[in-house]
Structure 1
Amino acid sequence: MDASENPTPEPAEQPEPVEATETATETAAESEAGAKAGPEAGPEAGAEASAEDGSGTGTATGPEPLNLDQLADQAERPDEAARDQMRTRLAALAVPAAGLGRLEELAIWLAGARGSGEARPIERARVVVFAGDHGVAALGVSATAPDQAQAVTAARVKQIEDGGGAVGVLARLHGATVRVVDVSVGSPSGRVDKEDAATREQIEHAFRLGMAVADAEADSGADVLIPALVGVGASTVASVLAGVLTGKDAAAVTGRGSGVDDTAWMRKCAAVRDAMRRGRPVLGDQLELLAKIGGRDFAALTGFLLQAVIRRVPVLLDGVTTTSCAMLVQRIAYRSPQWLLAGALSPEPAHRSALDRLSLEPLVEGYDVRQSEGALGLLALPMLKAAAALATELATFDEAGIPEPVLRSRV
């Protein structure tokens, strides 16, 4: 089904590979059980199918530990021949020299990521929102009251599933579809300032879950993926990861998140500082870092991003949560940023720091939109669609029957 035909989430109409992995409705309890139960546990079916890709061959007691080095070896560079072909077409378009500006760069990037220099429009943009609760929300680091955190996360998930929220509005506007993956709603991670977010087993299971979702989306024909995350306390966890991965101080990466006051911001800074101290000793082990200071939803999102790169599907990043996971993927597979674009820039300081580390420039700046959950990626989707459409539909000088300017040069 084309994106324009289904602008809101329709769980009953998920592509066949998605239904096979049963990730759309998996609860926290099922997720933990699946990590122990083997191939009958929904997402593990997708993980075992990827055994030869480095995610583990499986044993009598469960899957083998993830081999990130083997996965990293599968992350290749975008197709340079396709990029050159697109450059040649753009140079011949009946427009002023470099008249499309950065849109030309986007068209070239898209050609390389697609592996084809044949211009074609974007027709199947897909938003995938991973959902989870966070124990750090109990510290009052969000505008949501601590005793309401889980209820608010669940309500947001229901709203998005029903086609609401900013992500639903923008998805309908731009012809994208939305899917929510319940990773740990109602089952908060540990309080990362003083305890581990999850066990290593839970993190590896969630990582495989994200990989299986990316495989399903790639198999269903998505031509651009916009991953996102929803959950009270998520921006705090993202700030922790950004601080550890960029080497910045807690105050330099901690923002207002959901719009907290000064008192809550100071509590948030303290939580980020303490969690960063716990994360620094395991910086070299990405899965252990997720277990210490991330959580299952962040692990699923990281696995999703890595597998999207491996499957050669273009990715448009959302806000600070998605971008912090992208930095983890960069440490696993150094070529991965070549497959990523940054959406709209949020006012979260950790977002800019993370993009700088990835050497990515946001497509939309200056609007200070705090709402993420897929909205920041969708705000930039029209730019990418415009680049694809112009490269596809604009005529060359020969096609238009217009003499090419004698003194023309590409600037």
Structure 2
Amino acid sequence: MQQENMKTLESLEDFRHFSEKELEIRFDQLKKQIVPADKTIREQAEKHWEHVAKPLGSLGVLEEDIVRAAAAQGEEVPDFSKRALLIFCADNGVVEEGVSQTGQEVTAAVVSNMTRGRSCSCLMAVKAETDVFPIDMGIACEVEHRGELYPLTERKIRRGTSNFTKAAAMTRQEVLTAILTGIDAVRVLKEQGYRLSAVGEMGIGNTTTSSAVASVLLQKDPELVTGAGAGLDSAGLKRKTEVIRRGIGLHHPDPMDGMEVLQKVGGFDLAAMAGAFLGGAIYHVPVVIDGVIAAAAAAAAGRIAPAATDYMLAAHVSAEPASIWLLDLIGVTPAIQAGLRLGEGTGALALFPLLDMALSIYRDMDTFAEMEIEEYKPLV
């Protein structure tokens, strides 16, 4: 694990030095590499489940997750032996509107805790045998610790996005920089032997940005998709909903243009997560969706490149109201329903042990033929 080997993302390309034209060219080149997951492998994996000596479909969503992972990796037996959690960290200018209980200093404090292995996600990652890679995409305040157990990779675009009630959250150049950083993070991990990844985030105000993105992509009123986040009271939730409505009304992002939605009402963390989902499709690495924030990013990635959804797995349905609608939009089914709403990739980490268990049955269980008993037949 990372504690022993101190793995980093040192070879992550720094797109902050690219011109907007160079970013556009690179993104177009990479996007062309996104194709649907391997249909033949998918069919083989589905057939294999039918022969495993157990009741048909009895592992539910986990069977579909194994099939999706196999098709994504292009191997009938997927490999989960080395997995990573990418945590994209950034602040959001919209917190000026009073949409959060806490200030931006909390983002820096939690990220500092991550580098010491003391955040919720890092503690869970130890149990899930997962390496953690926090990336600074736009933290506003200084981070006290920047190394130790989980070194912080610095790719800060600027100290937080713009307040989307006054201006677009990002420029076109900034959203491209964030997306390409997410894509390249998956490339680096793949080169280091990681075959399964998850994404998480840390940034005060990002339930507001993700609710805004969800509202546009789902074409639903902000009141329907906006939750209390880290604990707003009813007045705070009403204010948050109105802020989102104002931002969307100011910019009118095209719901069919995922990049435009991210640019106008999203955040650096959401854009980088969307990039990681696109990177999963480019480099054939299944990427696990965490909660509603990650789901909003995944849905935006699906609008940018529809085939990218083939490479996504849903860990859980969040307690936030938009969560299940976003997962339905992407076309994935969550394996866990536990009312989770912590973020940082914690829900995605909770899926990894379940995937290990399902894979052991898929890979190691005797078939009906080997046990010399009659196979189950599908019910009509």
Q: Which TM-score band applies after superposition, normalised by the shorter structure? A: 0.7 to 0.9
Pick from 190, 202, 218 the counterpart of residue 246 of structure 1: 218
SS at match of 1:65: helix
Q: Distance in 2 between matches of 1:202 and 1:69?
A: 16
The alignment status of 1:368 with 2:368, answered yes or no, reads no
The answer for the alignment partner of 2:95 in structure 1 is: 137
Contact 2:200–2:345 (CA under 8 A) maintained in structure 1: yes
Q: TM-score with structure 2 length normalisation?
A: 0.88
1:403 to 357, 372, 377: 372
Deviation at 1:95, TM superposition (A): 2.2
In the TM superposition, residue 320 of structure 1 has moved relative to its aligned partner by: 1.3
C-alpha separation in 1, matches of 2:78 and 2:71: 13
Equivalent in the alignment of 2:67: 108
SS in 1 for 2:341: coil
Matched, 1:155 2:141: no
CA distance in 2, matches of 1:274, 1:19: 40
Q: Distance in 1 between matches of 2:254 and 2:26?
A: 17
Question: Within 5 A, what are the aligned runs for 1:332-411?
Answer: 332-365=304-337, 367-399=338-370, 402-405=371-374, 408-411=376-379
Give runs of ≥4 in structure 1 deviating > 6 Å: none
Aligned AA (2:122): G
Task: Give the number of the structure whose alpha-carbon radius of gyration is greater.
Answer: 1
Which residue of structure 1 lines up, in the alignment, with residue 83 of structure 2? 125
**Matches of 1:97 and 1:150 in 2, distance apart?**
50
Equivalent residue, structure 2, for 1:208: 180
Aligned-pair distance for 1:242? 0.3
Identity percentage of aligned residues: 29
1:251 match: secondary structure: helix
Corresponding residue of 1:48: none
In structure 1, C-alpha distance between the alignment counterparts of 2:201 and 2:4, rounded to whole Å = 15
C-alpha distance 300-99 of structure 1, shift in aligned 2 (>3 A): closer
Corresponding residue for residue 65 of structure 1: 24
- Paired residue for 2:7, among 5, 13, 25? 13
**TM-score (normalizing by structure 1):** 0.82
Alpha-carbon distance between aligned partners in 2 of 1:89 and 1:286, rounded to the nearest angstrom: 36
Indicate the SS of the match to 2:322: helix
One-letter amino acid of the structure 1 residue matched with residue 373 of structure 2: E
- For structure 2, list consecutive stretches of 5 or more residues without a partner in the other structure: 141-158
Map of 1:92 onto structure 2:
51
Distance 1:108 1:234, change over 3 A: same
Structure 1 residues 90, 140: closer, same or farther in 2, change over 3 A? same
- Tell me the matched-pair count: 361
Letter paired with 2:47: T
Cα offset for 1:278?
A: 2.8
Q: Which residue of 1 aligns with 2:119?
A: 165
Equivalent in the alignment of 1:303: 275
5+ long unaligned stretches in structure 1: 24-33, 39-57
Paired residues of 1:210 and 1:303 also in contact (CA < 8 A): yes
Post-superposition offset of 1:150: 2.1
Amino acid at match of 2:165: D
Counterpart in the other structure of 2:164: 192
Match for 1:277: what amino acid?
Answer: G
The answer on whether the counterparts of 1:243 and 1:249 sit within 8 Å (CA) in structure 2 is: yes
1:297 alignment partner AA:
D
CA distance in 2, matches of 1:248, 1:254: 10
- CA 1:295–1:89: 2 relative to 1, 3 Å: closer
Q: RMSD of the alignment, in Å?
A: 2.3
